[in-house]
Every structure is written in structure tokens, then in C-alpha cells.
Amino acid sequence: MERKDRKTLIGAGVARPDAIDKVRGEARFADDIVFPGMLHAAVVRSPHPHARVLKIDVGEAESCPDVRAVATAQDIPGANMVHVIFDDQPALASDVVRYVGEPVAIVAALTRRAATEAARRVRVDYEELPVVDHPEKALEEVSPVIVADPDAAESGNLFDKMVLRKGDTEAAFSQADIVVEGTYETGYQEHAYLEPQGAVAVPEGLGGMAVYASAQCPFYVQNAVARVLDLPLSKVRIIQSSTGGAFGGKEDVPSLICSLAAIAATKVRRPVKLILDRAEDILTTSKRHPSIVRYRTAAKTDGTVLGIDVDVILNAGAYQTLSSAVLWRSLCTAAGPYRVPHVKVDARSVATNTVPNGAFRGFGSPQVIFPHESQMDLLAEKLGIDRVEIRRRNLLRSGDVTSTDQPVVDSVGALETLEMAADMTKWSDRLASISAFNASQSEHRRGLGIASVIYGVGLGGKAPYLDKAGASMKLEADGSVTLAVGTVEMGQGLTTAMIQIAAEVLGVPVGRVQMSPVDTSRVPDSGPTVASRGTMMSGLAVLNAAKKLRERIEAVAERIEVPLDEIPDRMADLAQAMWRENEDLAVEGWAKTEPVDWDPKTGRGNVYAVYAYATHVAEVEVDVRTGEACIVDFNAVHDSGTILNRTLATGQVQGGVAQGVGFALMEEIPQRDGRLMVNGFTTYRIPTIQDVADGAHVGFVEAPYAAGPFGAKGIGEVPLMASHAAVARAVAHAVGAEPGAYPLSPERVRGLLKAV
Amino acid sequence: MERKDRKTLIGAGVARPDAIDKVRGEARFADDIVFPGMLHAAVVRSPHPHARVLKIDVGEAESCPDVRAVATAQDIPGANMVHVIFDDQPALASDVVRYVGEPVAIVAALTRRAATEAARRVRVDYEELPVVDHPEKALEEVSPVIVADPDAAESGNLFDKMVLRKGDTEAAFSQADIVVEGTYETGYQEHAYLEPQGAVAVPEGLGGMAVYASAQCPFYVQNAVARVLDLPLSKVRIIQSSTGGAFGGKEDVPSLICSLAAIAATKVRRPVKLILDRAEDILTTSKRHPSIVRYRTAAKTDGTVLGIDVDVILNAGAYQTLSSAVLWRSLCTAAGPYRVPHVKVDARSVATNTVPNGAFRGFGSPQVIFPHESQMDLLAEKLGIDRVEIRRRNLLRSGDVTSTDQPVVDSVGALETLEMAADMTKWSDRLASISAFNASQSEHRRGLGIASVIYGVGLGGKAPYLDKAGASMKLEADGSVTLAVGTVEMGQGLTTAMIQIAAEVLGVPVGRVQMSPVDTSRVPDSGPTVASRGTMMSGLAVLNAAKKLRERIEAVAERIEVPLDEIPDRMADLAQAMWRENEDLAVEGWAKTEPVDWDPKTGRGNVYAVYAYATHVAEVEVDVRTGEACIVDFNAVHDSGTILNRTLATGQVQGGVAQGVGFALMEEIPQRDGRLMVNGFTTYRIPTIQDVADGAHVGFVEAPYAAGPFGAKGIGEVPLMASHAAVARAVAHAVGAEPGAYPLSPERVRGLLKAV
């Protein structure tokens, strides 16, 4: 399949074909979808963080003229259960509500306004119950137990407890030359996707239900909807509508949104659209888990880390949703990209009467990265070692083992990211110029922060059954190519990558490859579009499909005497010849990762098939008077294996950096008694282009991954993971104090400055 | 795959799952489809049968307030050509119009009314040209040549001329004991589908165009639309909407309808719906080809047929569309289901300034069946042989060769259909009771007619590259099954048959198999849904897919020690095990027919992979005073191989019989100067349930076809083919005269009675 004569498409900055539709306003997002007879839904939600539902009276709402139905729990044909990992969350609460905004009923009416107005007329009598609003309080013995299903929880309000034990941590700490420690808290982060959650459920032929959804994980939704409707999986198909951002926020939540729409659609036997408004979306859908991490590091005087002792608490909210998976990644990522021989991590996710938290870019890793990078800098400071140098001494190299005792051999570019980032920054010179700047005046202080991260690509050893993907491909009689996969485009560029891979293998122009919107009925369960796995896994499936098709094409080329190097130019003839001979023009490709494993007793195992790495360096300037920190310069270097599309990968990094800047510096949701105190982007501030300087300078260390498509690993989450920590460490450097909590808002930075 | 413990689904009267949607009014037909921003289209059509287009002025139409665009030929991005077989028909006429109703422009507006009104304001200046309205006139040397592309025609107005030569016909006729001859004319037949032609063209992501269409042949449409839009095939997908009947009328015509909608949608970059109203549909879309057949038969005194000499003329209308394929079936079917050693057939399709005729159930065969069955009866009468007996002596048996010199060996049930039909009718007793009835009074005369037919299933030797089909199938993690094929449900029951086959092989309940609407992007070109090939070809593809999947399931069953006979009950466990092990749950199935061939020089060859057979017996009663004929009793016996679903096959026969009764007795479209003189179902009368007595008594001779799915051949067209001839021959028997033309309307029957 070598084509020395042709320019390869791999690495090329192929323009994303879906951009045109989006720029023109022609892409159809969930709220753009219309079906004949379609009704609009509004959700009746709990105003209380914890209360018993005594009575639901839908009479007045049902009698509103434009209302067609009000559905409550009793209208659910199947199980009143939104299946994610554990089955503890009802689609519509019927006995107890456990967070503010929990759905109790859904109204379907001719217009959205009528539905919303009628929703207000659904009378629900509640008896308020004691509220548990903080995970540490929730863990106290005296705390009321608020979990829905005690059997599905570890004990009391403790949803999940996981451990990682490697080596002899006690000995390591007792023998260490130095021990540093700290407590690190992070708060909520809102995904702030441009498009709020939305779905249109459409009863289909043969007793089926289709749901058009703004979603990352159509197969999760398929399972959830089949469950509430009591339908076989084959009778439920999820079609992804153009998705205006997700960032993890559309991983588990659409299972609830789509279930609600489908319940209503089943009751009225008509299409039902449910679109959340911004306030509703922010207040009632998942966020990044707030965390409290206690972290101790033992090291030698040369900076070599001997051991870590980490305690992670995540605030899961009222239901489990994805918390156990998020927690697991905290556990596996706690040691960072470093060789750590002795490891002890305890990780707990805890129930509170708050909105269930879920997936968010980084998925439990930012909560431990802020700590591990803070600890590395603390060590460096205390030992008088340069921060680049201490990382250089500890970073994983090929042949090392990770904290879970997993050997890493292939594609280990951690150190290269560090070196390139240091080079790009001119690290030592920059430190000197910052010193000079800080000495020259007193109103601003600059600081330089560095952060290195490791990221296990894909779902790994806790859910190995999800690490697979399918592709369906066919050659058309004119040599163009039709392609379908099961992971989604949500802005990250998956469509472009898939088309590039197919075009590269088959030797057709990218403009002749058409990719279908994701529809769960077209390809087998391809797992979720999460964990930076889209390009790697679906890319492999597409690669495998394309290779099969290519073999058939080459066989025909041989038969009709077309030289291999003329295949691209003769593709139409070849396809036509195959078509005329009634050859099968369809192939399906399948991919699964190399085996992974995890032992829950020890927390050890070959937990991920492969890892991505990154090192970011941020320079910030703090206004000493206001406490405001802003980005002066940013360098981001990634090892995500071969980069399939440099333009889009760079875009991923730029976006991730911005989201990390927001997480570190400004994004905050106060919570009081289980109530979130924001309702839109005037009260929840996210970075603008002005907050990220000119954007990051981006470098790629392409340590090719033999088992990835053309050597690619994943990239999506990694930029966020590294960037917030680089920013936080830059602020620490600037102010000369150790931050213990995010965000480093002006108030908090002023507090740090005062403490110095 | 034997399952002695389980009731087989094959042959079972599994209820059609799509019936529920249709009965409830929930099936979405083309006009039920709505897209956001969708416009409605109306077509500006030629009022002349033949005219030069001097000028098209769209100014006034375009300035109507609700109009968004008026498209003419110059707006077509690609070729102004509706590709069917030959490229002679423009999508929008720009220089010459050749039939009344030919499209000249298309208007897209906010409402259908606005579009229709604006269409009237498109000013087209025409210069009328001489009109050729009859095929025999068209063939005269003095006739103006009216074809669009003389190169694509044989000569002058002769589109196509085909011959079949076998043996020495001249010798056969000179040595025959008896020669009979006749001329037989048939007229137009309108498909009278419940749902008129319609399509919605929707610009899609990545530069694609989707067209939702009421269509039999989505892949034809895909090709046509790609051509007019100048898009690769991968960028055009056709999704079949629920189709309210087709009968051949939605074989080629949707290529024009969808092209028009797609041209308008491309111009406005919005979805465009085009639905024909009933009058527009009847007047401007294809009909059954009117025919003139001159038929001579040479035989021995024992009734053995020695030879035939047949001349077929079909009135093709203004463009070729499918005429050459229709003509080819006339050619191959001209000898009927009989052993005829010496065969001479000349078949011509001829251009006239009338609506292009196309596919209609039977596809060129009814036009020669009326003759061959009339001739058989004539022979019987002249030789004093019973009509059953003379057929018994001549019908093809296994080991015989057809008129095209094709040996038929497997699945030759012709004779069995005759015997069963005679038995069901109690042929001799019935003849006696009819004689008694006719002798008892003079106001009514009863008659008994019999007709035997042969039908080559599939597309055969003239287009072997179309006889293929694909299926895409996947097992869901709960053991339910998702299925897609490329041939369509149009009322005949294909969906049910496909689901039955999949369920049978996999051992799952039919209710757990879901079939997707046909979408050309999901499966490879599976050929058209015509020629009674749907169940046979797509069924084979489904069978092949299911067998592949079954193999994987059995392998897992072995691994986890589930006995084979417990697979059906344990399917959910097995599927779950496969899912957890990341096994590929998708398969694709592919089917193609056994090789066929045809020599255009001689007309001989193994022209079809397999044949279906039928014998129908009709009893009619003629009111001597009015000439009205009505059905008293009807027996229909078919050999279509194994019957997969007796209920649906019986329904197919009942419907085909009714349509044949209409063709023989009442359906008529007068044509004057190229203008059709009907405009709806008040002027074009089709049979009601009252016209077909209690419906036909149906019998099946199931001569299994080894290469068909579970032994199935095709059935769709055959009942129509036999029924009209049985009715016509019954009328002949009743009135004691030979009909020379259809329909046998009261006027024509009175003429026959007078002639006696």
C-alpha cells in the first residue's frame, strides 16, 4: 500500500468538510430537527435538593389547551431507570427527589411555550428531607444516607472506593530524604458546550423508536432508551444530530434527556422534541466532579520520587452515573507520568444531594494532576532542582513501569514532550527574564509553570468491553466511497480523520468519501466517543475496512491489468468493473484494543493499551492589585503518536488549553445547600480569546503507536489536562505561594498574595 | 441449522409488522415528510405533445412573494439527463418538448399553492411541431422523426428492434397440420398506486444530497440524481419513504421526480418537496405500453405446438426510459410456458409523442400472454381438444428447453399448476354446469377461461449486472437483530419475508428483528425492486448474512457450552458474551444470481436464472344486454418455489388477480393527438372488491428452487400476468368470439356479441 508517487494525506492539514455546513448555518443541530406532528416537551423538575414526593397532580397541566400529554413515572413502559453503569437513577422520580432539577414529569405540547407553561402547573407535593451537600459531611457517620440504592453503594453515602497498592509505601516514606504534602481542591466545571442538551424522539416503523440526539455516546443512549421503553435494542436507534460541543457533558446526560423524550413520544405516539434552555442545562446536567485530594510524595535528594500516598474524594452528586469510571481514572492517573515505585492511592466517590457529576474532558485526571504537578514543583523547590530537570529525572521512559505496574514500551514520548516544551519556551532564559521583570516593578508579577501529564487512551481495564469500534464502508460504482462509523463528530474533527484514513488507503480524493451521520443501527456498538479514543479506535476500524476493500480493488486491477500505481486515477473504471461483475462492494471493519486488565484488589494491571503524554509551559502575569492572572505565553507539546491532521490536532490543543485556563483561573459554581448558584454565562464565566493570549504554541512529538491507525494515539482530553496545571503552577511561581484550590480567581490569588 | 424442536417460520403466515403502522396512519409517506425550511415545488409542464421551446420567461413567477426560486435547464449543475437505460430524456426540456406534461421548469415556494400558482405564471413560448401519436404511424417512412437522440434509436422512430430465432419456423409452418393466427391489441394501464409520485430532496452535510422518495429502485434514483447534480454517488443517498404502491410505476419515474426535486433543492439550498397530484400523476407518468401483437401458431393435430411467428410492437412514448427492457421481456415471454421448437419473434418499441411508458407488473409479458393464450385456445377449439388437455400436452417439463433454448431443470412446476387449477375448478364439471346455465336462459352467458404463464424471475440476461443484492445485519448485545437491505417494501411484504428469513436462521423471534428503511448509503447497489426479485435476491443476501452471524453465534455457544438447540432461548446470553468479548457483531451478506446470458443476434440464451409458473382459471358471466362481464369464480395456482409466507403470497395473488381483471375488463385511457383523455379515478375506472367476486381461490405448487432462499422464487408479477388472460379467455368462451383487444369493456363485449 505504499504510494511513493502520491502525496500522503496523513498529517496533512486536510480542511474539515463539516466546517462548511457549520459556517453556512446549514448543519442541523437537535433544535433544528422537525418532524410532522412533532410536539415540544418541558420537564417538571424538583425545586428541592432532597424531598419525598407525596403526590403529583397533572390534572391542571393536562387540561391546558395545547397540551397533549403529561408523563410521569407510571407512564414508563419499561424500567424507570437511566442505565449508565449502576442502576440507581430513575428517569422520572416518583418517590424521592435527590437533587435540585431532578425530573419528575414531562409535558408534551404543541409549542415549547405551552409545554413550559403547563409544566409549571403540574402540582407536586413534597416533604423536604435533610440535605447532604458536601462529600466529607456525607462520609460522616452521623450523615443521613441519601443514596437511592444502598446495595449499589459501597456503604452509607460512599458510592465507590478504589485502591491502588504497589510496592511498600510505608517503607518508602520512612526511608525518603524528603516528603512533601498538600491538600488540593477543585470545584465544578461546566462544559459550556455551545449547544445545550437536546433530543427528538420519533416513533418509527415496526414498533421502533428513533432518537435524534446531541450526544457523544449514541450506543449508551440506545441502551438507556431500550431499557425505559422495554424494547429490544434493535428497535431503538439513536441518530446523532450535529453536535455543538460536548466535552464529556454529552456522554451520560443524553441517556436521561433521550429517555425523557422517548417516554413522552411513546405516550403520545408522536415525535417529541426536548431541548434544555441554558439555565436548565447548567443547573441540572453533569459537571466536572469537585474534588478534595490529599497528596504526599516521598523522594530522594536528587529528586527521584520514591513513593506517593494519595487520598482522592470526588463529589459524585445524587446518582452514580459515570462516577465510578471517573474515579478509576483518578486512581490510575494519580502518579502522573512518572516512575513511582511505591504507590498507595485511595479514591472515593461520594453521594451528595447535588446534580450528578459525570464526564468532563480529562475525566477525573485534572483533579489529581493539579496535585501531582504541585507536588513535583514543591519537591523541586525544596531540593533546589530546576523544575524541568526534576521532571526529566522522573518521567517514564520506554521500558519503565507505570504506577499500576504496567510496562510501557511502545510510543513513550513523555520525555520528548518535556524537552521540546522547554526548548520552545527557552526555559532557562525565560526564567531569567521573568526574574528581571518581577524585579523591575511591583504591580505585576510574572510566573512560569510547567506540567507534564500521562493519559491512558481509551477506556482501559475497568471497561475493556467498550474498547472496540466498527466501520461500514462501500465502494460506489463510480469509485466514490460511503462510510459510517459509530463514534461521533462533536467538533473535534473525527469526520475529517475518518475520511482521510479511508481516502489514504483507497487512493481516492477526500471529496469523494462521504461519511454518514452516526446511527446506531448502521454499525455495531462502537463504544462511546470519549477517552480520546475516537480517532484511534474508529480510525482502526476504518483502516481495516479500507484495507479489505483495497484488496478487492487490487484483485480487480490485476484482472483488468491496471497497474497498482494507477489505481487512484482508474478508480472509477475499477469500481465500474466490480459493479458490472456483481462483486460485493461492501466491507465492514472492526477494531478492538490490545487486551488490558485491572485487579480491583490491588488496583494494578495493564490498565490501558497505550498512553499519550504532554508537557505544557504557561507564563502568566498576575496583577498584584486585583489578583487577576492572565496568560502571557503558552507552549504545549504533545505525544499523541502520529498526528493525522496537524491543523485539527492543533485546534484540539488550542481548545483544550483554553478550557484548562478557564478551569484554573475563572470557572466556578458556588453551591449552597445543594443549590448551584449560577444560571448562565453571565454568572459562569468562561475564557474568551482574550484570556488565552495568542493561543498556545503547539508542538508534536510523534512517537508512533504501532497498533494505532498510521501510528495515531488519542489527543482530545490531554491538552486540558496539562494546561490548567501549567497555569496554576505559573500562578504559584508568580505569587510565590502554593495554591490549594481552583479556580485561581482574583479573590483567591489576592489571598495567596496576602499569605506570602 | 436444522431445528426439529422448533416450528419453522418458513411458510408461516407471519403477520406483516408494517401493517400496524399503516393501519394506524403512522407510516410516513413522502408527503408526510417535513424538514425545517422545506419548500414546496410545482412543475411547469408542456401543454403540447410536440413543440419547440422558444423562450422561457420566469420573471413573473420569480417575483411572486412566496416563491424562492424557479429552476430551468440552465440551473442543472450536471447533465440535463434522466439516466435510465439510454440517455435521451432531459430532466427539464430546454429546446423541444415531446409529450404533454413534459417538465420545463420547477418552482420552489413556501407553500404548495404558491408554487402551483407561480408555475402558471412561467411563460413559455412554444412553436408547435407535427405530432406522431401511434406507433404504426410512427414507423411509416413519411412520419416525422420525433426521437430526441437519433443515435440512441435503431432508426427513425424505431427505438429498439429485437429478434428471437430458434429452429426453422418457415419449415414448421409449412409442415404444420394447422395454423392459427390473430392480432391482439392492448391499451394503456395506469398503475393506480394509492400514493402518487413524490419526493423530498434535502441538502445534507459534507456536500451531500439526500432524497426521500416513494420509489421502487432507490439505486436507480441515486444514479440519476448524482448525474444531474454532478456529484459522486457517495454524496447522494436515497431513502425510501413508506411507499403506497408502485407496481412498476415507481421504477423509472422517481428518477425524474427526484432529479427535479434535487435540482430545485440545490438551487435554493433548502429541502424541497415535490408531490404530484393525481391528475398530474396519471397524465405525466409512465403507463403500461400499449401493444399490437400479430401472432401465428403452427401445430400438429394432436395439439403439439411446432412453431410460432410473432410480431410485437410496443408504443414506448416520447423517451426510451425502460422500453428496451420491457420489450426484451415481451420477446423472451412470447412463446409462453410451452415447448416450442421453432420460434420467430420480432419485437419493436416505437417512439410517439406520448408520455413515456415504462414498467408495469408483468413488464411486457401481458402484451404477449393475451395472444399466446388466445392462440392456444384457438388451436384447442379448432382441433377439438380440451383446453386443459392441450396445455397439458405443451407445457414445459423439467428437462425441456424454453423458446430461447434454455434448458429448465430445477423447479419446473408449470404442469402441476395446470393440474391443481383444473382440480380446484373441477374443470370438466364446471364446463358442463356452464353449458347448462347458458342453455337455461338468454340474458346472461357464462364462460370459463384458463391461462398458463411463465415468468423469468429477476432481470436476466439483458442486464445481468443488476441481479445482485446486499444485506447488512448486526446482532445487538441483547440478542435482537438489526437488518438493512437494498430492495424495498412497497406493499408486497418484502419486510416480512426478510425478517422471517433472518429470524429463522438465527433462531430469534420475528419481533426482535428490526429492518431499516432502505437507504442507498447502507448497502451496496442491490439492483431494483422489480421483476419479482425482491424476496429471492435480498432474501438470499439476508440468508447469507444470517448464516455468517449464526456461525459466530455457534462458535460462542460452543465456547460457553450452550447446546445448539438452546441457542434460541439463550440468544441474549450469547449476544452479551460476544459483546463483552468485543467480538464483531456485524455481518454483510451478498447475493448474485447464477450466470445468465443472451445473444442479441439470435435472441437465444439462458436468459433467466429461474422461472415461476402459474395457471389461472376464471369463470365470468356476461350480461348480454349491457355487455358487462363480471367474475363469478377465480382459481389461481402458482409455482413460485417455496412459499415463505402463505398469507402474504396469497395477498399478492389476490391483488394481482384484481389488477388483471381491471386490465382485461375495464381499465382504459383513450389517447387523441398525444393527449391522454383521463385525469383521475372517476374517468379511469379500476376494479373494486365487488369486481373480483370473493377474491381468488389460491393454490401453491411449491417446486423448490435450490438456489433461492429456502427454495423461494418470485411471485409479485405473475398473478397479474395470468389473470387478465384467464378473464379474457373466459369472456371469449362466454360470448363465443375471439377478442382482439383489451379492455373487454361493455362496449367491446357488445361488439363481440354482435359479431357472433
User: Which of A35, A205, A495 is the closest to B18 by Cβ?
Assistant: A205
Residue in chain A lying closest to B478 (CA): A233
Helix ranges (DSSP H) in B523-566: 539-559
B233 with A515: Cβ contact below 8 A: no
Element (H, E) at A238: strand A236-240
Over the Cα atoms of chain B, what is R_g? 26
Report yes or no: B71 and B263 within 8 Å, Cβ to Cβ: yes
Residue in chain B lying closest to A465 (CA): B580
DSSP 8-state secondary structure symbol assigned to residue B196: P
Of A467, A476, A494, A581, which to mutate for an interface test with B (greatest number of B Cβ within 10 Å)? A476
Q: Which residues of A touch B273 (CB under 8 A)?
A: none
DSSP 8-state secondary structure symbol assigned to residue A680: S
Q: Which residues of A touch B27 (CB under 8 A)?
A: 205
Residues 6+ apart with CB under 8 A from B435: none
What is the spatial distance between Cα A199 and Cα A406, in angstroms, rounded to a whole number?
Answer: 41
- What pLDDT was estimated at residue B3? 43
What is the spatial distance between Cα A686 and Cα A194, in angstroms, rounded to a whole number?
Answer: 12
ipTM confidence score: 0.96
Residue in chain B lying closest to A18 (CA): B206
Report yes or no: A709 and A645 within 8 Å, Cβ to Cβ: no
B521 with A511: Cβ contact below 8 A: no
Beta bridge mates, A591? A469
- What pLDDT was estimated at residue B1? 38
User: Which of B18, B33, B512 is the closest to A232 by Cβ?
Assistant: B512
DSSP 8-state secondary structure symbol assigned to residue B597: -
Q: Which residues of A touch B467 (CB under 8 A)?
A: 582
Report yes or no: B549 and B589 within 8 Å, Cβ to Cβ: no
What is the spatial distance between Cα A361 and Cα A365, in angstroms, rounded to a whole number?
Answer: 9
User: Which of A234, A464, A579 is the closest to B476 by Cβ?
Assistant: A234
Element (H, E) at A117: helix A112-120
CB contacts < 8 A (A, B) = 177
Q: Which residues of A touch B578 (CB under 8 A)?
A: none
What is the spatial distance between Cα B353 and Cα B94, in angstroms, rounded to a whole number?
Answer: 16
Q: Which residues of B touch A523 (CB under 8 A)?
A: 474, 586
B586 with A524: Cβ contact below 8 A: yes
A470 with B586: Cβ contact below 8 A: yes
Q: Which residues of B touch A585 (CB under 8 A)?
A: 470, 524-525
Element (H, E) at B613: strand B610-623
A34 with B32: Cβ contact below 8 A: no
Beta bridge mates, B444? B623
A 10 A CB-CB count for B465 gives 15
User: Which of B514, B524, B592 is the closest to A206 by Cβ?
Assistant: B514
- What pLDDT was estimated at residue B6? 55
> Checking phi first, is residue A435 left (phi over 0); if not, alpha (psi -120 to 50) or beta?
alpha
Q: Which residues of B touch A490 (CB under 8 A)?
A: none
User: Which of B20, B476, B582 is the closest to A467 by Cβ?
Assistant: B582
Distance from CA of A397 to the nearest CA of B (A): 31
Backbone angles phi, psi at A472, to 5 degrees: -120, 130
Read off the pLDDT of residues B480-538 as tens digits, 9 standing for 90 and up. Answer: 999 999 999 999 999 999 999 999 999 999 999 999 999 999 999 999 999 999 999 99
Spatial strand order of the sheet with A697-700 comes to A444-457, A610-623, A629-639, A697-700
What is the spatial distance between Cα A584 and Cα B469, in angstroms, rounded to a whole number?
Answer: 9
User: Which of B24, B36, B585 is the closest to A32 by Cβ?
Assistant: B36
C-alpha cell belonging to residue A663: 478551569
Distance from CA of B417 to the nearest CA of A (A): 33
- What pLDDT was estimated at residue A6? 55
Dihedral angle sign, alpha carbons of residues B725, B728, B731, B736: negative
Average pLDDT of chain B is 96
Distance from CA of A14 to the nearest CA of B (A): 14
B36 with A18: Cβ contact below 8 A: no
Distance from CA of B252 to the nearest CA of A (A): 19
Regions of chain A short of the pLDDT cut 70: 1-6
C-alpha cell belonging to residue B15: 403477520
Report yes or no: B572 and A458 within 8 Å, Cβ to Cβ: no
Report yes or no: A516 and A483 within 8 Å, Cβ to Cβ: yes
Residue in chain A lying closest to B584 (CA): A590
Residues 6+ apart with CB under 8 A from A520: A218, A219, A221, A222, A236, A237, A238, A239, A486
Residue in chain B lying closest to A517 (CA): B205
Residue in chain A lying closest to B485 (CA): A522
Of A520, A521, A526, A571, which to mutate for an interface test with B (greatest number of B Cβ within 10 Å)? A521
Distance from CA of A476 to the nearest CA of B (A): 6
Regions of chain B short of the pLDDT cut 70: 1-6
Report yes or no: B457 and B738 within 8 Å, Cβ to Cβ: no
Q: Which residues of B touch A592 (CB under 8 A)?
A: 582
**Smallest Cα–Cα separation from B483: which of B434, B526, B531, B431?**
B526
Of B221, B268, B482, which to mutate for an interface test with A (greatest number of A Cβ within 10 Å)? B482
Element (H, E) at A344: strand A342-351
Report yes or no: A104 and A248 within 8 Å, Cβ to Cβ: no
Residue in chain B lying closest to A522 (CA): B522
CA angle A44, A50, A53 (to 5 degrees): 55
Supply the pTM of this predicted model. 0.96
Of A24, A29, A233, A489, which to mutate for an interface test with B (greatest number of B Cβ within 10 Å)? A233
| Distance set, CA B266 to CA A196, B33, B58, B79, B262 (Å) | 30, 18, 18, 14, 6
- What pLDDT was estimated at residue A219? 98
